[in-house]
Chains A and B, each alone.
Chain A
Amino acid sequence: MKPGVAVLLVLGLSACQSVMPWQKAALAQDTMKPAGPVAALSKLDLHVYTSKEAVKGGTGIGGGGCGCN
C-alpha cells in the first residue's frame, strides 16, 4: 500500500478536523441551526415559495411542518 493512500484512507475515516466536544460553543449557537434561530420564519417563507413556484424538496421531511399544501 502506498503511504499516501493509507494516510488518505485514515483521514477519510476521521472527520475533517476533530473538533472536541468542549470546543463547540460557536457550533451550538442558535444561528448555526439550518433554519436559523426563529425556525418558524423559514416555514412562513416556504409557505409562499411552495404555493408560487413549481419547485419543492430538499427542505426537510414533513412531520413538524406546517402541513400546508
Chain B
Amino acid sequence: MKSLIFALTLLAGLPAYAFKAGDPVDAVSLAKLDIDGGKVVVLDFFAEWCGSCRKEIPLISTLNTRTDPSKVEVVGVDVNESATAADAFQNELRAKNALNFRVVNDPKQELVAKFRPLGFPALYVIKDGKVASMHIGAVADIDKVIERELKALGAL
C-alpha cells in the first residue's frame, strides 16, 4: 500500500497546471508582465514555431481593436529561446498588421514555466490578479470566444 501511495505521489508529481480558473497569479509574474491591476488582461503565450499560435495571433489582434484600452489590455509572451528570433518574428507580424499588442519576450522561459500551460497556444484571461479563464491548445475563432468572456466579465 505504501508503495502504491508513493507511486501515486509520483503520478501527482507529473505535469500539472500551475494556475487554473480562480487561482491568483503570483506577484513576480504579474510584475514581469507589467500588468495594470485595474484592467482585464488577455495573456497570450506563443512562439514562432507553433503553427496554431500563428493562426491565433491575428485574431487576437483583431479583438484588440474592438476592446476599450482603459478596460482591457492584451499582452503577448513570446517563449522563443532566442530573443533575436522572437523580435524578428514579431516584426514580421507587425509589418503585416497581424500583431498589434505588447509582447514580453521570455527567452529563459521563466514566465511560461510559472504558468505551466499543458498545451500551446496558451491563453489566459486575468482579472484582479486572478485567472478568470484559460484556453489551452488551438481554439477555432478564439477572438469570438474571448470576446464573449470579456462581455461576461463586464469589460466589453
Binding site for B on A (CB under 8 A): 1-3, 5-7, 9-11, 13-14, 18, 20-25, 28-29
Contact = CB atoms under 8 A, between A and B. Distances in A.
B3 A3 contact: yes
A22 B45 CA distance: 9
Given A22-B45, A22-B109, A28-B50, A10 B11 contact: yes
B120 A29 contact: no
B7 A6 contact: yes
Interface string B1-17: 11110111011001100
Contact of A7 (B10, B14, B45, B49): B10
Contacts of A2: 3
B109 to A, nearest CB: 6
Interface of B: 1-4, 6-8, 10-11, 14-15, 45, 47, 49-51, 79-81, 109, 112-113, 116-120, 122
Contacts of B79: 22
A10 B119 CA distance: 22
B120 A24 contact: yes
B83 to A, nearest CB: 13
